[in-house]
Structure 1
Amino acid sequence: MPTVTLAEPAALNDESSVPETLGFVEWVVMNDTGLRLKARLDTGAKTSSLHAVNVEEFQQDDQKWVKFQIPLADHKDHPVEDESTINHEEIILELERPVERTVLIKRKGAPSQRRYVVMMDFCIAGTNHQTQFSLTDRGNFSYPVLLGRRFMRDDNILIDSADSFIANKECEYMSLEELVDNQQAKIVEVDKKS
């Protein structure tokens, strides 16, 4: 009987092909604003999603764009040591992005929902990435960001489903005061109702 010897694939010797293992929940920083949010890494979702409200389509340079808001009242994720004098309830980030595509999401026990998908740059585990995010109201969910399989596949990420916040490196983010002073994102103060 002949002996079969399997050659080791060259890709396994390449350090860049070694997958990075992250927890099922990690911090992400949206690069254009410096906003730090909790993200759930979910192998059950193909496309990543970002909590967004008041999503409005408009035309710019003959291309479809969307304007959307990220209310910080829904994301009290800044660490305890962030002794901010600004109340989360008072700040909404307003962003604009070109539309990459739209998707029809089928939901069990609810009508299907059409969502806009935009490209966003973000940092996780000290490394910058870019992926498509569908924009949807995730205000009732624990995590404002969901990172799906497309991101994990494209960026060679493995998930440790038994652990969270295991990234070896952190990403730089801004305090609420710095977010308010940041000119790259519009800050909309919420009217206080009595």
Structure 2
Amino acid sequence: MSKYTTLGWREWLALPDLGIAHIKAKIDTGARSSALHAFYVQPFERDGESWVRFGIHPQQGNTDNVVDCEAKVLDQRQVTDSGGHREIRYVIATTIALGEDTFQAEVTLTDRENMRFRMLLGRTAMRGRHLVDPGRSYLMGKPNRQQDKPEI
């Protein structure tokens, strides 16, 4: 039995530190860093430390569902996207829940509104814990939409 969990090329995951119960992510071994959609990014200071406030539309095609988040800034880095465009991005650390596995990962914030996936899980976050089967999807399961409905 392998110590690695096999993922499909796309998976549902959660970002519990940010209040995201489920978000569809592209599992991207071609990307070094993980990236999360943020449609506004506002830096601020808290107790002498750099923080960032940002909004997420966790569901593709749904701009009505907004999750407002705050996170401590780890760094600002220049990132080159797949189209060769360079951008300075804020980097945060957050917990990722993927199937039975929960781990901390660095994530960059960028506007992915026109992209197919609200999140990319890059190879640095997967290193030492996951393998990817590019011919399969959702090996960690799909979200239970019933848990999102309020009780009556």
**C-alpha displacement at 1:126, in angstroms?**
2.3
- 1:18 is paired with a residue whose SS is coil
Structure-1 residue corresponding to 2:4: 19
Partners of 1:126 and 1:171 within 8 A in 2? no
The CA distance in 1 between the partners of 2:148 and 2:120, in whole Å, is 22
Structure-2 residue corresponding to 1:140: 114
Task: With the length of structure 1 as denominator, give the TM-score of the two structures.
Answer: 0.68
Partners of 2:34 and 2:119 within 8 A in 1? yes
- 1:138 is paired with a residue whose SS is coil
1:166 aligns to 2:152 (yes or no):
no
Q: Percent identity?
A: 31
Q: How does 1:103-142 map to 2 (within 5 A)?
A: 103-107=77-81, 108=83, 110=85, 112-142=86-116
1:175 aligns to 2:145 (yes or no):
no
Specify whether residues 23 and 177 from structure 1 end up closer, same or farther in structure 2 by C-alpha distance, changes over 3 A only.
Answer: same
Q: Deviations over 1:12-35 (max 9, x none)?
A: xxx7x7111110101001113142
The CA distance in 2 between the partners of 1:106 and 1:127, in whole Å, is 29
**C-alpha displacement at 1:125, in angstroms?**
1.3
Larger Rg: 1
Partners of 2:35 and 2:109 within 8 A in 1? yes
Specify whether residues 106 and 34 from structure 1 end up closer, same or farther in structure 2 by C-alpha distance, changes over 3 A only.
Answer: closer
The CA distance in 2 between the partners of 1:109 and 1:47, in whole Å, is 15
- 1:142 is paired with a residue whose SS is coil
Structure 2 gaps, min length 5: none
**C-alpha displacement at 1:96, in angstroms?**
0.5
- Report the aligned-residue RMSD: 2.4
Partners of 2:33 and 2:121 within 8 A in 1? yes
What letter matches 1:162 in structure 2?
A: G
Structure 1 gaps, min length 5: 1-14, 77-87, 179-194
Q: How does 1:55-66 map to 2 (within 5 A)?
A: 55-66=41-52
Partners of 1:117 and 1:132 within 8 A in 2? yes
**C-alpha displacement at 1:106, in angstroms?**
3.0
**C-alpha displacement at 1:109, in angstroms?**
5.9
Task: With the length of structure 2 as denominator, give the TM-score of the two structures.
Answer: 0.85
The CA distance in 2 between the partners of 1:144 and 1:150, in whole Å, is 18
1:54 aligns to 2:27 (yes or no):
no
Partners of 1:99 and 1:117 within 8 A in 2? yes
Which of the residues 20, 24, 31 maps onto 2:16? 31
How many residues align? The count is: 148
Q: Deviations over 1:78-108 (max 9, x none)?
A: xxxxxxxxxx543311100000111112354
The CA distance in 2 between the partners of 1:109 and 1:147, in whole Å, is 19
Specify which structure has the higher proportion of helix: 1
